Structure 1
């Protein structure tokens, strides 16, 4: 198809030049050659190049449908000529040591796909553009960045009294819960809350029965990229797993919902839940729980703090200061002025952030 387009374009330009030069010489003599060169250059540039190609770029589908049938007819009629031209060109290249091979189309890179998304979606579908870009961003995010950290895992300690275990089960905000002895490092399995709550109606249901209800733990390496882990969840038919480091130590927990929230944002975070992490003040600053992850903080507050380092805001501050700060210490990170308000047991609890 490309060959017939090039052939037709070349024949048309050469024919137009020949006819225009012949007529110009007939009427204006030698001066006509110069005049027709200038005039034809502008005509071809505007009417044969710039205008039609701009129109085709703006309305590619419309132009393709209009041009497809005539081009197919020309391709059938001129196929012997096109075949001969291609073979002559390939033969000339072969003389210079260039062997033309039929190549399979190369897949687009992530950056090329990102450019396509940016250029092909208009303002009316901006939300879809953001959604597609977040899907592509999964290749840049690791499991460690999206997981719920170890110290925030809500689970069931089998060493607790049965009444306390039942209370935690009934009040659980999650659909799946890890069960362990003493701490999460001694995890025994994963409970499906819906199934367990149905069993709790039975007065003979005991702690031993609870352990039997726990399914085998699915472990996830913290270095895995989210796009691959999403495929792993699908292949293994899992929706939750404990995240481990290279030594096999548990670092956190990851659910399918956590991965999907990286694409579409938080599913259901109320104003009360947001206030737990961020509390806007009248002076334009915000009181922030320093244990919030930098990625979540940027997403909720629409800030642009650097998120390619430590996972939490507390960790980000400690990394920049290279020490555990005291109350009253101020620091500027990425144009954001941050005052440390509360520190306890070598951990930053609350800070005041002045947006850039």
Structure 2
């Protein structure tokens, strides 16, 4: 080494530090790169991305060649600094100690921290480029990497561990995918983000959460006066009507009202003509997941179904439009006189119907009504009192002040909900139910 000029030795040291920096940056960039983005680029024919995906599919070998190269050049750099120190200062102990500190600092700053920060920051850009260097290097050093990995694999087996396949680690759970969607607001439009979020919810909710409750279903009772049947068909805003005798307990079928409009208007219309147009009712078990029901609607070519409990009693009505609106939001025209949107007033309160689903109230008003029991506000109030409530009675449901405004028969018609944080004296709103 004495015959080699000092300038050449310093140049070699700089080259070794640069190679160490390259290996350090490669390790961080390859492991931090977005695998889904790389796979997308690979599918479009990007050669660098194809090589990067191939390397990531054999992570143990890729890391083996990176760490092998990194350790070799770091060791060579440390040895070369010792040689230079001896040439300059002789066999002095302080010189060797100082050279060790200097090379440690240089490797730490120039070959480890800085390159790894760069690799982590620009991983998606660097990974396809670095793959062109690592791929041939892995082929060249494959025997050495394979030999070293034998010992690493044996040590893992002794410790009771195993290398998880890379394709398993690249899979996302539904919860992780949901978080990914929610955190991609800078890429995915807000409307699309809401639709994707709704899709994740479809497997977690059942048809009971979305159905129109039995008491709110418009039925066509053919036992009533025939003129009333005529008038209901001419004025109904629904394209399909459940037809029954007396009540839904005697359901006859579903009537596509458009088929009878011409006959009703001309007067050439009677009960037999109506019954001849009925479709067989389609029943849905109450515990069916909404996403599964969407597939059932498609498989059975149905658009409307009656939700039934374990005893076969009809609980409510679910349509294909209900599910679609749950995914993309309301898009159909509301019935006259009914406002589907809810907003807080200046007094931080809102008047709602008792038949309002709790899920709608939670979503529109940012509330937290419990969803594991009754599905409507009326049902939740009745469960709370265990009795038929009276008007002008107030209560708190899950910490949310509610005032009953109007009751009829055995249900709450309207109620006023107060925004919890806007109530200065919540206790003054609560009145105990009558004994």
TM range (shorter): 0.7 to 0.9
- Equivalence for 2:369: 305
- Counterpart among 4, 9, 12 of residue 69 in structure 2: 12
- Equivalence for 1:21: 78
- Equivalence for 1:228: 292
Matched, 1:46 2:113: yes
Give the alignment of 1:156-171 within 5 angstroms: 156-171=220-235
- Between the aligned partners of 1:196 and 1:105, the Cα distance in structure 2 is 57
Q: Which moved more, 1:42-51 or 1:251-260?
A: 42-51
Alignment deviations for residues 275-301 of structure 1 (CA, whole Å, 9 cap, x no partner): 488586553322222221111223333
- Between the aligned partners of 2:340 and 2:324, the Cα distance in structure 1 is 22
TM-score normalized by the length of structure 1: 0.85
- Equivalence for 1:337: 401
Question: CA offset at residue 134 of structure 1?
Answer: 1.0
SS in 2 for 1:140: coil
Q: Which moved more, 1:78-87 or 1:154-163?
A: 78-87
Question: CA offset at residue 345 of structure 1?
Answer: 2.8
> Cα–Cα, structure 1 residues 259 and 273, in superposed 2: closer, same or farther, change >3 Å?
farther
Question: CA offset at residue 10 of structure 1?
Answer: 0.4
SS in 2 for 1:267: coil
Matched, 1:32 2:95: no
> Cα–Cα, structure 1 residues 323 and 203, in superposed 2: closer, same or farther, change >3 Å?
closer
Question: CA offset at residue 317 of structure 1?
Answer: 2.6
Assess if the C-alpha contact under 8 Å between 2:255 and 2:278 holds in 1: yes
- Equivalence for 1:173: 237
- Equivalence for 1:182: 246
Structure 2 unmatched ranges of 5 or more? 1-54, 86-94, 421-435
Cα RMSD for the two superposed structures? 3.1
- Between the aligned partners of 1:213 and 1:236, the Cα distance in structure 2 is 19
Question: CA offset at residue 347 of structure 1?
Answer: 2.2
Assess if the C-alpha contact under 8 Å between 1:4 and 1:71 holds in 2: no
Q: Which moved more, 1:217-226 or 1:122-131?
A: 122-131
> Cα–Cα, structure 1 residues 279 and 170, in superposed 2: closer, same or farther, change >3 Å?
farther
Assess if the C-alpha contact under 8 Å between 2:119 and 2:126 holds in 1: no
- Between the aligned partners of 1:234 and 1:226, the Cα distance in structure 2 is 12
Assess if the C-alpha contact under 8 Å between 1:292 and 1:312 holds in 2: yes
The total of aligned residue pairs comes to 352
Structure 1 unmatched ranges of 5 or more? none
Alignment deviations for residues 194-233 of structure 1 (CA, whole Å, 9 cap, x no partner): 3333554665443212212112211101111111111111
> Cα–Cα, structure 1 residues 3 and 281, in superposed 2: closer, same or farther, change >3 Å?
closer
Give the alignment of 1:137-286 within 5 angstroms: 137-200=201-264, 203-268=267-332, 273=337, 275=339, 281-286=345-350
Assess if the C-alpha contact under 8 Å between 1:277 and 1:292 holds in 2: no
Assess if the C-alpha contact under 8 Å between 1:277 and 1:288 holds in 2: no
Assess if the C-alpha contact under 8 Å between 2:178 and 2:200 holds in 1: yes
